[in-house]
Structure 1
Amino acid sequence: MRRIALSAFILVLAITFFSRLLYLQVLDDEVSYGFLDDIAIDSKYHYPERGYVYDRNGKLMVSNAPAYDIMVIPRNVTKVDTLELCKLLDITREEFDNRMNKAIRYSPKLPSVIVQQLSKKEYAGIQEKMRKFPGFYVQKRMLRDYQTTSGANVLGYISEVNDWETKNKKGYQQGELIGRSGVEKVYEDDLRGKKGVNFIQKDIYNRVIGPYKNGRYDTLPVQGRDLTITIDETLESYGEQLMVNKRGGIVAIDPKSGEILALVSAPYYDPDLLVGRKRSKNYTKLYNDSIAKPLFDRGLLAEYPPGSPFKLINGLIALEEGVIDQNTKVTCYHGYHYGRNRFMACHCPSGTVNNLKNGITRSCNAYFANAYRKTIEKYPTAAEGMQVWSDHVKSFGLGDYLHNDLATGRKGKIPDSATYNRMYGKHRWFATNSISNSIGQGEILTTPIQLANVAAIIANRGHYYTPHIIKEINNQPITDENFTKPKYTSIAAEHYDAIIEGMFEVYNSNIGTARGARIAGINIGGKTGTAENFTVIDGKRYQLKDHSIFIAFAPIEDPQIAVAVFVENGYWGSTYAAPIASLMIEKYIHGEISRTDLEKRMLNSSLEDEYNKYLNPEGLTDKDE
């Protein structure tokens, strides 16, 4: 029995020892050894390289470059010529004192940053002189090195952790860097890697003896994981060029997978602006630009009325509810009259008779107002009809976050019966009170990524994959079902072909609203949109130029790309958004542009004069009521 008991004791002891060792060397990100309280032992950290970021085609977008921090361990500082050190580091005495006090408050025995992110040239000028300042040393680290000037909103940026993060985020110490936005933020745990540490034994005279315990507790840094993202860098860069001197967003998605091919926000900025010692100054400048808002990701955050592209959803709902079919005809008298002297004008010649296909091709307000009204009035009360309609719309991913892997986003707005009960009171409203919803105005708001997803849904005849930015982690494809499992709308697949026929004619018919942007050799299905645009300046409501909107997918017979384009104050959908969408499609599918005249016009066009009206409201249409 004693032999069994002894064996069991040894086994338990071995398991305990192994578990503790595993925790210290593998699981515990922070050094938590008690011997660090010994003033004769110092620790020196070795920061890993962050993982690299590649585009979908293997093109390197983000790597690393060395930089150097001046570190201090406060308890080791003795007899330092402060004025000489400040001169060497090019900082004021006040800055030095503030940073030293902060370091002491953080920890007298742990290293803190005094001056961060010196360049190679700056480091070369001071490295030999640092031996004169006990307690101070140079810490090499790796900063982001961008191999592209595009995709700043996608890639994001990193910066030093703040006081709250050092206290509340496991594994982070003062001076370390953390992802703040974009891919850097969402995939911080993968990109960050794991820092290594060396423990150094000193004698009573503070002289280095050698590694503590012969390096038993030392660890090596582990590089972060490499990411392959879904973005096509060439397409992303091209989209940014097309949006120069314009504001808005372009989102392109692969309908077959939900992979985001381009996520353009305009105006854009070079990601290199937010690297190194210049980061803080540049960030402040970008942040304070309250007019152009370059840090505001319009593809994910801007909520616009969707305009006429929303007619496609209303057509699908009306087909599903059986209140129209593809042959249903409506006579348009240059728009739709409703209520008491209310009118929604469109461009159909008075007396035009449209079926569903022509209603899409001409973007007929009367056709879709009738379809919407029939949908609501199919049910005993407007509230019941509205709730059915709202549930259908939400099945397209509208009015809610898409639950993607992007760092930011907004859910837009889709009204329901409760919305109008609040506005008008129960049983006191009818279909005509919400008729603007029929043409994508009213109480509806969507983001560009949501409308790109709608285009993908139509391309897929009723289903979509959650739009996402990650493709591979360390060359391993993603398997998350949130991204690989299709989501289905409430509209039967059989109804989509009639909508797609109309979308095809938008580009190819002589009456199509985007006929001027057609591309030979590619069958595109699209829909133009023009959304009204208002602003309030000094308490007055002004009408600005309409937003130009377009959604499309191509090729119709085998969809490879779905795209949404929003150009703020861009006039008609056919003026800017449709041409830009067609160029993006051709660039992705063919790799080169055949309509160089169209490309030149889009590259050289500017809306800056229109945007300047925000600064000077003279000449704007006063809509103050």
Structure 2
Amino acid sequence: MSENRKFFVYGLFVLVGIIYLIRLLYLQVLDNTYETASNSIRAIPDVPMRGQVYDRYGNLIVYNTLVYDLYVTPNKLKVADTLALCNALSITRADFDSLMKAAKVYSRKKPSLFLRQLSKEDFAHIQDVLVDYPGFEYVKSSVRTYSAPTLAHALGYVSEVSQKQLDAQEYPYYRQGDLMGQSGLEKFYEEYLRGQRGVRYVMQDVNGVAKGPWKGGELDTIAHAGQNLYTSIDLEIQQYVDSLMQGKAGAVVAIEPSSGEVLAITSAPSYDPALFATRDFSKNYAKLALNPYRPLLNRAVMGSYRPGSTFKTVQALVAMQEGAISPGSIFSHAGAPMKCHGHGGLTGVSSAIQWSCNPYFYHVFRRMLYANAEKNPFKASAIGLQKWHDYTQKFGFGQKLGIDLPSEAKGILPDVEYYDKRLGKKSWRFGQIYSMSIGEGDLLITPLKLANLAATIANRGWYISPHLVKGIGKNDNPLPEFKQRHETGVDRRYFEPVVDGMEMAVVRGTVSRGAIIPDIVMCGKTGTSQNKKGKDHSIFIAFAPKDNPKIAIAVFVENAGFGGFAAAPVASLVIEKYIKRHVDRKAYEQEWKNKNFLQNVIIPKSQLPKPKEQKPAPTKPEATIVNREKAAFNKLTEAP
């Protein structure tokens, strides 16, 4: 019995020993986690190059330039002469102390970003110096570089990922110090642009000195560069639009009607995107944020304006489709609370569009809302308004069109629920909302939506959601949603009288004579958006040629007055440039490049920087223009 116990104890010891040996074999040979987590093995991330951005003809818009990021590990850092180090790095002692404090807060044992975006020249200057300062190391990186100072709002920018964004990650991809798209295409297509990170494992001694790749690089993974974006932007036309919008506040959006591809998109005033691709990002951003002309606002997709008389095209189309009017319907001016622009007798929808007759569209809207002939005026208004809203919504109003840019504004397209909340349930009447008949009142749109309206009319009833990227990774490979047609539900035959009216508005109507393009039939509609502060905004939508249109456009010029005066000339020059690839009206072109409407922009006193010295208040305390702010703005946004 005792002999059996002895064998049992021996067997137990042997079994335990075998288990330990197997576990040790697994940890040291089969499982790489133990070794990679040990102090002798260090994982170095390999950050991929972001995808580049091209225009529709293959011209490079955004590319990458090699730079070096300097990291520091506080516990390893040994500095004998701080002043000498600061001089070598071209920073002040205060900057050094601040950067070291931030690094220690992050971690004393882990490397954290110390200086970002050292150029090849800067890095070559300090590379030998860093040998004397253990604790510093570098990582190759890249910075966004721009072929031209344009498209700042559309392209967007990249900056260091915030702690909030790090915490919100569903999948742990980003680390402290990584760059991430924060706006524009950089943000919308971040998943495609950022690429796939790689990693290198290196062996190091107790002093942190690298001793070569671990296992000959067997476990290393290669970084894969981000996918390139092939945009629909015509870079030549984009820069031309920018030149026409100098000295102006507003927006221009040009679209190819048949595809929904955005040819040019400008928000003015703008800025050079290179300002956000430097180590001075924070300073440059702060300056632009304080500028009273709001250059950071992407007016093209975020600006909220009343559409003015451009909306009369929608009123006519919806009313004809609902059967409230016919193409030949005529109304007198009697009973309308708004005045007309002064014109001869109307012959129907076409001439009403041609002359932008306010009383005509007052009666059109009234007839639409009261088409049910209900005895109860509220019930009639409510039923009619809801039908009008449902049709109008199909043109893209009151909702996001889904452009591939973040922060697109929905705008406002009032319905029954909207007025029930605002004016009281079952207590509002047509007399309180009739201003919408001419595109005023509670309607709010973006320039993008009006450009899309122009494209929809050009297509005679349908549109594809506007988009800037026509290919991801390769050309002609857009996202699936940018291939779908959206129908308005309005019969094609009702578009013809509206198109004819838009043609006559240019030939002999509300558009200034100078905006007529030789040899090109342009169809357009003027609009003047009411503005409580200062001059009204000038609006114009158009497409050309009349048959088989190649371009649709919307132009907004803030505080410039009548739509046919300021916005129409800009649109006509862009259309001529795009279709002909040159402009014959040289004198006219130069005149509008030199036009300056910024002096009409009224800036609330609260938005102006406080003067260093106390000066007498201006005669109009609610608004003024400061010349030195204009000079500062021009200097900040001028091309390098």
TM range (shorter): 0.7 to 0.9
Map of 1:52 onto structure 2: 52
- Conserved in 1, the CA contact under 8 Å of 2:472 and 2:478? no
Kindly state the Cα deviation for residue 619 of structure 1 after the two structures are TM-superposed. Answer: 6.7
Map of 2:296 onto structure 1: 295
- Conserved in 1, the CA contact under 8 Å of 2:204 and 2:212? yes
Separation in structure 2 between the aligned mates of residue 330 and residue 298 of structure 1, nearest angstrom: 37
- Conserved in 1, the CA contact under 8 Å of 2:506 and 2:523? yes
Instruction: Give TM-score, length-normalised by structure 2.
Output: 0.85
CA pair 235-389 structure 1, distance change in 2 beyond 3 A: same
Map of 2:287 onto structure 1: 285
Map of 2:307 onto structure 1: 306
Separation in structure 2 between the aligned mates of residue 217 and residue 353 of structure 1, nearest angstrom: 80
Q: Structure 1, residues 194-241: CA drift from partner, whole Å, max 9, x if none?
A: 233222212345443321222222222211111111111111111111
Q: For 2:433, what is the secondary structure of its paired residue?
A: helix
Kindly state the Cα deviation for residue 34 of structure 1 after the two structures are TM-superposed. Answer: 5.4
Higher mean C-alpha deviation, range 138-147 or range 39-48: 39-48
Map of 2:361 onto structure 1: 368
Map of 1:551 onto structure 2: 541
Kindly state the Cα deviation for residue 592 of structure 1 after the two structures are TM-superposed. Answer: 0.5
Q: For 1:69, what is the secondary structure of its paired residue?
A: strand
Task: Flag the structure with higher strand content.
Answer: 1
What one-letter code is carried by the residue in structure 2 that aligns with 1:527?
Answer: K
Q: Structure 1, residues 295-336: CA drift from partner, whole Å, max 9, x if none?
A: 10000010100000000000011101112111111233xxx6
Say whether 1:328 aligns with 2:326: no
- Conserved in 1, the CA contact under 8 Å of 2:198 and 2:221? yes
What one-letter code is carried by the residue in structure 2 that aligns with 1:378?
Answer: A
What one-letter code is carried by the residue in structure 2 that aligns with 1:392?
Answer: Y
- Conserved in 1, the CA contact under 8 Å of 2:527 and 2:539? yes
Q: Structure 1, residues 245-271: CA drift from partner, whole Å, max 9, x if none?
A: 100000011110111111100001111
Separation in structure 1 between the aligned mates of residue 476 and residue 33 of structure 2, nearest angstrom: 38
- Conserved in 2, the CA contact under 8 Å of 1:255 and 1:456? yes
Map of 2:262 onto structure 1: 260
Separation in structure 1 between the aligned mates of residue 207 and residue 123 of structure 2, nearest angstrom: 28
Say whether 1:378 aligns with 2:371: yes
Map of 1:563 onto structure 2: 553
1:238-253 matched pairs, under 5 angstroms: 238-253=240-255
Separation in structure 1 between the aligned mates of residue 145 and residue 305 of structure 2, nearest angstrom: 35
1:126-525 matched pairs, under 5 angstroms: 126-169=126-169, 170-289=172-291, 291-332=292-333, 337-338=335-336, 343-349=337-343, 352-379=345-372, 380=374, 381-478=380-477, 480-509=479-508, 511-525=509-523
* Matched residue count: 576
CA pair 207-529 structure 1, distance change in 2 beyond 3 A: closer
What one-letter code is carried by the residue in structure 1 that aligns with 2:392?
Answer: V
Map of 1:590 onto structure 2: 580
Q: For 2:503, what is the secondary structure of its paired residue?
A: helix
Say whether 1:66 aligns with 2:60: no
Q: For 1:276, what is the secondary structure of its paired residue?
A: coil
- Conserved in 2, the CA contact under 8 Å of 1:72 and 1:113? yes
Map of 2:527 onto structure 1: 529
Q: Structure 1, residues 514-551: CA drift from partner, whole Å, max 9, x if none?
A: 4441101111111000111013xxxxxxxx11110000
Q: For 1:366, what is the secondary structure of its paired residue?
A: helix
CA pair 322-246 structure 1, distance change in 2 beyond 3 A: same
Q: For 2:71, what is the secondary structure of its paired residue?
A: strand
Higher mean C-alpha deviation, range 322-331 or range 103-112: 103-112
Kindly state the Cα deviation for residue 602 of structure 1 after the two structures are TM-superposed. Answer: 0.8
Q: For 2:417, what is the secondary structure of its paired residue?
A: helix
CA pair 34-318 structure 1, distance change in 2 beyond 3 A: farther
Separation in structure 1 between the aligned mates of residue 402 and residue 346 of structure 2, nearest angstrom: 42
Larger Cα Rg: Structure 1 or Structure 2? 2
Kindly state the Cα deviation for residue 166 of structure 1 after the two structures are TM-superposed. Answer: 3.3
- Conserved in 2, the CA contact under 8 Å of 1:42 and 1:201? yes
Kindly state the Cα deviation for residue 44 of structure 1 after the two structures are TM-superposed. Answer: 2.6
- Conserved in 2, the CA contact under 8 Å of 1:303 and 1:446? yes
- Conserved in 2, the CA contact under 8 Å of 1:413 and 1:446? yes
Q: Structure 1, residues 13-51: CA drift from partner, whole Å, max 9, x if none?
A: xxxx9xxx9xx9xxxxxxx95545422222333322211
- Conserved in 2, the CA contact under 8 Å of 1:507 and 1:526? yes
What one-letter code is carried by the residue in structure 1 that aligns with 2:63?
Answer: S
Separation in structure 2 between the aligned mates of residue 366 and residue 621 of structure 1, nearest angstrom: 35
CA pair 396-373 structure 1, distance change in 2 beyond 3 A: same
- Conserved in 2, the CA contact under 8 Å of 1:337 and 1:344? no
Kindly state the Cα deviation for residue 353 of structure 1 after the two structures are TM-superposed. Answer: 3.8
CA pair 40-550 structure 1, distance change in 2 beyond 3 A: same
CA pair 40-73 structure 1, distance change in 2 beyond 3 A: farther
Map of 1:9 onto structure 2: none
- Conserved in 1, the CA contact under 8 Å of 2:469 and 2:478? no
- Conserved in 1, the CA contact under 8 Å of 2:257 and 2:551? yes
Separation in structure 2 between the aligned mates of residue 619 and residue 364 of structure 1, nearest angstrom: 35
Kindly state the Cα deviation for residue 168 of structure 1 after the two structures are TM-superposed. Answer: 3.5
Q: Structure 1, residues 454-478: CA drift from partner, whole Å, max 9, x if none?
A: 1111111111101111111121522
CA pair 163-81 structure 1, distance change in 2 beyond 3 A: farther
Q: For 1:533, what is the secondary structure of its paired residue?
A: coil
- Conserved in 2, the CA contact under 8 Å of 1:306 and 1:444? yes
CA pair 316-483 structure 1, distance change in 2 beyond 3 A: same
Separation in structure 2 between the aligned mates of residue 83 and residue 552 of structure 1, nearest angstrom: 63
Separation in structure 2 between the aligned mates of residue 433 and residue 494 of structure 1, nearest angstrom: 32
What one-letter code is carried by the residue in structure 2 that aligns with 1:259?
Answer: E
Kindly state the Cα deviation for residue 78 of structure 1 after the two structures are TM-superposed. Answer: 4.7
Higher mean C-alpha deviation, range 36-45 or range 301-310: 36-45
- Conserved in 1, the CA contact under 8 Å of 2:538 and 2:560? yes
Q: For 1:143, what is the secondary structure of its paired residue?
A: strand
Kindly state the Cα deviation for residue 109 of structure 1 after the two structures are TM-superposed. Answer: 4.9
What one-letter code is carried by the residue in structure 2 that aligns with 1:305?
Answer: R
Kindly state the Cα deviation for residue 431 of structure 1 after the two structures are TM-superposed. Answer: 2.1
Separation in structure 1 between the aligned mates of residue 43 and residue 357 of structure 2, nearest angstrom: 72
Kindly state the Cα deviation for residue 76 of structure 1 after the two structures are TM-superposed. Answer: 3.6
CA pair 42-97 structure 1, distance change in 2 beyond 3 A: farther
Separation in structure 2 between the aligned mates of residue 237 and residue 361 of structure 1, nearest angstrom: 32
- Conserved in 1, the CA contact under 8 Å of 2:55 and 2:61? yes
> Residue 580 of structure 1 is aligned with which of 570, 575, 579?
570
CA pair 209-67 structure 1, distance change in 2 beyond 3 A: closer
Q: Give the percent of matched residue pairs that are identical in Structure 1 and Structure 2.
A: 40
Map of 1:124 onto structure 2: 124
- Conserved in 2, the CA contact under 8 Å of 1:313 and 1:393? yes
CA pair 452-99 structure 1, distance change in 2 beyond 3 A: same
Unaligned runs of 5+ in 1: 1-16, 25-31, 536-543
Q: Structure 1, residues 159-195: CA drift from partner, whole Å, max 9, x if none?
A: 1122233344321122221111111111111111223
Separation in structure 1 between the aligned mates of residue 91 and residue 79 of structure 2, nearest angstrom: 19
Instruction: Give TM-score, length-normalised by structure 1.
Output: 0.87
- Conserved in 1, the CA contact under 8 Å of 2:462 and 2:485? yes
Q: For 1:344, what is the secondary structure of its paired residue?
A: coil
CA pair 282-621 structure 1, distance change in 2 beyond 3 A: closer
Separation in structure 2 between the aligned mates of residue 70 and residue 486 of structure 1, nearest angstrom: 50
Higher mean C-alpha deviation, range 102-111 or range 598-607: 102-111
Separation in structure 1 between the aligned mates of residue 381 and residue 43 of structure 2, nearest angstrom: 71
